[in-house]
Amino acid sequence: MRAGALLDQSSAAIAEAVRSRAASALAVAEAAIARIAARNPALNAFTDVTADRALAEARAVDAAVARGEDPGPLAGVPFAVKNLFDIRGLATRAGSLIGRESPPAARDAAAIRRLRAAGAVLLGGLNMGEYAYDFTGENAHDGPTRNPHDPSRMAGGSSGGSAAAVAARLVPIALGSDTNGSIRVPAAFCGVYGLKPTFGRLTRAGTVPFVASLDHIGPFARSVRDLALAYDALQGWDAEDPACRRKAAEPVTNRLSLGAAGLRIARLGGAFDIGATAEVIAAVNDCAAALGVARSINLPEIPRARASAQIITAAEAGALHLDRLRTRALDYDPATRDRFLAGALVPAPWVYAAQRFRRWFFERVMETFRGVDVLVAPATPFAAPPIGSAGTIEFGGRDVPVRAAIGLFTSPFSLVGLPVVSVPAGRSAEGLPLGVQIIAAPWREEHALRAAAALEAEGFASCPAPAG
C-alpha cells in the first residue's frame, strides 16, 4: 500500500506496515507532510509543522527496524499535539500572542516523549482556543480552526486543531487537553473519538496549565483501538506532575474485544435531555439501545455542578494569569480576556462553596456507580455552530450564551474527574457529526473504552470521512 493511502488507515495498520517493512516510516512521514501542506490551508489545524524533525524521527524508526529492533506499538505513526504541549525548540503558544514570545522549550512535554518512546513521529503543534478557555476552536491570533465537515462551522474547542487534524486524515492520532470539555466537544463536532481519562491518570508535565485542579490531557483518534493504543502508551506515573497519581499502567488495548459484556449501563436523563436537539437525543437513544440499556437514571444537581465548574475555572485561571493581566490584558484574545479578568476578581467564598459542592457531588456520583458501570449522555447539545456565532440560546428556561452552552453536558463529569470517551454517533439535520459521551467510574477507562468499542463494532459509532 502506498504511504499516502496508509494515512487513511488506522495507527495499528501504519505501525504494522512499518514494522513489517511493507512501508517505511520515512515514506509515511513524507506523505503526512505533503498532505498537511495540501489540506491545512483550508482548515488551519496546524500552527507549527515540524517537518525536519519528523523526517529525522522517521529515519530513526526505520533504522531500528533495519537493526531488527521493535520501535514500539506506534512505529512510524504520525501524531501532532495541541500547541500548549511543549515541543523542544519551539515557543509554546498555548493559543496566545504572549506565549509565542517565550523562549523555545528546552524539551518535549512528557506525553510527547512517551508517544515517541512507542515509536510515533511528531508532525507539529495544533491550533487551539487561547489558553484553553474556549469551546469554539476560534482564535484571534491564529485564526479559527475550521471543521473538516463544513469549513464554515466551528471545529470545537479548545482542542479544535487536534480534532480537525484527525478528522481530516492529516494524522491518525493527536493529543489535546480537557478542563471542562475541550477534548470531548471538538471530538463531537469533528466526528472523531476522544478520551478524557480519569483526573490524575496521565501526566501533564510540560504543558501550559489552565485550571490545575481540573486539567486533563488525552488522545484523539479515528478508531477505539487507536485511541486505546495511544492511551496505553501515555500511561504511567510521573513525579513531575503533582496531580498524577502513583498508579501502575493498566493497559486496555487487549481488553477491547470484551466489548460491553458484563457491563451495567444506564442512560442519563433529566438535565441531559434538556436543551439538546432531537438529533442529539436520537443519537444517545440509538447508542443506548445498541448497548442494551433498559433504564434511564438522573444525577442530582447538574445545574450546580455546572456552576461549580464555572466558578473554579474562572477563579483558578484568573489567579494564574494575574501577573500577565496586570500588564498585557489587551494582548489577550478578546474572546477570553474579560473572563480571565473577571475570574481574578472572584471572592474567595464563591470558590470555597464551589469546592465544597464539588466534593458533595462526587460522593453522589460515586453512589450511582455502585449500581452501574457505564453512563451514556450527549456530548454537546447541538452540532457545530457557524464560526463567529454569538448571542444566547434558551436552555432549560434560561438564556445562555451559545459559546457557554456548548460545554454544558461535558463540564459536570470533568468536575469530578471521571473517564469519558466521546464517540462519533449520529448526524444533525444538516449532516454534521454528533457525539455521545460514554462515562465510567474513576480509574475505569477500560469500561468506557469497551463500551465504545462495542458501539463501533456494531456500526453505531464511526468517523465519517469529510467530503472532498
Indicate whether 467 belongs to the interface with other proteins (CB under 8 A).
no
Q: Beta 173-178 vs 216-221: how paired, if at all?
A: antiparallel
Q: Considering beta carbons, is residue 262 or 334 the nearer one to other proteins?
A: 334
Q: Considering beta carbons, is residue 79 or 131 the nearer one to other proteins?
A: 131
Q: Considering beta carbons, is residue 30 or 301 the nearer one to other proteins?
A: 301
Indicate whether 308 belongs to the interface with other proteins (CB under 8 A).
yes
Rounded least distance, CB 351 to other proteins, Å:
9
Three-class secondary structure of residue 181 per DSSP: coil
Rounded least distance, CB 359 to other proteins, Å:
4
Rounded least distance, CB 438 to other proteins, Å:
24
CB 440 within 8 A of CB 418: yes
Stretch that binds other proteins, among 57-65, 308-316, 385-393, 456-464 (CB under 8 A): 308-316
Rounded least distance, CB 405 to other proteins, Å:
13
Per-residue cell: 20: 513489517
Rounded least distance, CB 135 to other proteins, Å:
15
Q: Beta 296-297 vs 374-378: how paired, if at all?
A: unpaired
* Contact code string over 206-225 relative to other proteins, x by CB under 8 A: -------x------------
Q: Beta 193-196 vs 173-178: how paired, if at all?
A: unpaired
Rounded least distance, CB 158 to other proteins, Å:
17
CA angle 219, 221, 222 (to 5 degrees): 165
Where helices occur in 178-299 by DSSP H, the ranges are: 184-190, 224-234, 278-290
Binder of other proteins out of 184, 196, 225, 306 (CB under 8 A): 306
Q: Considering beta carbons, is residue 255 or 328 the nearer one to other proteins?
A: 328
Distance CA 447, CA 460 (A): 17
* Contact code string over 400-429 relative to other proteins, x by CB under 8 A: ------------------------------
Indicate whether 314 belongs to the interface with other proteins (CB under 8 A).
yes
Distance CA 155, CA 139 (A): 11
Binder of other proteins out of 105, 282, 307, 393 (CB under 8 A): 307
Stretch that binds other proteins, among 35-43, 140-148, 297-305, 450-458 (CB under 8 A): 297-305
Rounded least distance, CB 375 to other proteins, Å:
20
Q: Considering beta carbons, is residue 362 or 443 the nearer one to other proteins?
A: 362
Rounded least distance, CB 215 to other proteins, Å:
13
Rounded least distance, CB 328 to other proteins, Å:
10
Helix 25-43 × helix 51-66 angle, to 10°? 160
For 117, 377, 443, the CA distances from 285, given in Å and listed in that order, are 40, 9, 26
Query: Catalytic residue positions?
Result: 82, 158, 182
In the region spanning residues 350 to 389, those forming contacts with other proteins, defined by CB under 8 A, are 350, 352-360, 362
Q: Considering beta carbons, is residue 219 or 318 the nearer one to other proteins?
A: 318
Distance CA 27, CA 37 (A): 15
- Among candidate residues 24, 216, 133, the one with its CA nearest the CA of residue 6: 24
**What is the chain's length?**
468
Q: Considering beta carbons, is residue 339 or 447 the nearer one to other proteins?
A: 339
Indicate whether 22 belongs to the interface with other proteins (CB under 8 A).
no
Binder of other proteins out of 330, 390, 429, 467 (CB under 8 A): 330
Question: Count residues contacting other proteins (CB under 8 A)?
Answer: 38
CB 22 within 8 A of CB 9: no
Contacts of 280 (CB under 8 A, 6+ apart): 378, 380, 381, 382, 383, 426, 428, 434
Indicate whether 345 belongs to the interface with other proteins (CB under 8 A).
yes
**CA torsion 120→121→124→129, rounded to 10°?**
-10
Distance CA 44, CA 23 (A): 29
Binder of other proteins out of 325, 376, 377, 406 (CB under 8 A): 325
CB atoms within 10 A of CB 230: 29
Distance CA 96, CA 98 (A): 5
For 8, 9, 73, 74, the CA distances from 173, given in Å and listed in that order, are 12, 11, 13, 10
Stretch that binds other proteins, among 37-45, 46-54, 102-110, 334-342 (CB under 8 A): 334-342
Indicate whether 346 belongs to the interface with other proteins (CB under 8 A).
yes
Q: Considering beta carbons, is residue 119 or 412 the nearer one to other proteins?
A: 412
Indicate whether 304 belongs to the interface with other proteins (CB under 8 A).
yes
User: From the DSSP assignment, how many helices (H) and strands (E) are in the chain?
Assistant: 16, 15
Bridge partners of 375? 266, 439
Binder of other proteins out of 267, 339, 447, 450 (CB under 8 A): 339
Please identify which residue in the block is written with the cell numbers 450564551: 401
User: Distance from CA of residue 264 to its chain's centroid?
Assistant: 25
Stretch that binds other proteins, among 220-228, 252-260, 328-336, 368-376 (CB under 8 A): 328-336
CB 16 within 8 A of CB 174: no
Tell me which residues touch other proteins (CB under 8 A). 213, 301, 303-304, 306-308, 310-311, 314, 322, 325-326, 329-330, 334, 337-339, 341-347, 349-350, 352-360, 362
